[in-house]
Amino acid sequence: MMRLFTMAGATLGGWVGWDLGQPEGTGLAFALSSVGTLAGVLLGWWVVRRYLE
């Protein structure tokens, strides 16, 4: 379950970050996508640890 939730969080976080940064340019989109990916992984990890273990 941990891998599923962290992968889903990374995918969604990266997509949201890219979507927010794209209007300002590819560089900002890449940076925000990286931050969103990290946040999504941490959120997915937290959900599994908090509710599923």
Query: Which SS3 state, helix, strand or coil, does residue 22 take?
Result: helix
Q: What's the mean pLDDT in 1-12? A: 97
Percentage of the chain exceeding pLDDT 70: 100
Q: What's the mean pLDDT in 10-32? A: 98
Say yes or no to pLDDT of 53 above 90. no
Residue 28 near residue 52, CB atoms below 8 Å: no
Say yes or no to pLDDT of 40 above 90. yes
Burial class (CB in 10 A: 0-12, 13-18, 19+), 21: buried
- pTM of the predicted model, to two decimals? 0.91
Say yes or no to pLDDT of 47 above 90. yes
Burial class (CB in 10 A: 0-12, 13-18, 19+), 13: buried
Q: Going by C-beta distance under 8 Å and a sequence separation of 6 or more, which residues neighbour residue 2?
A: 44, 45, 48
pLDDT for residue 1: 94
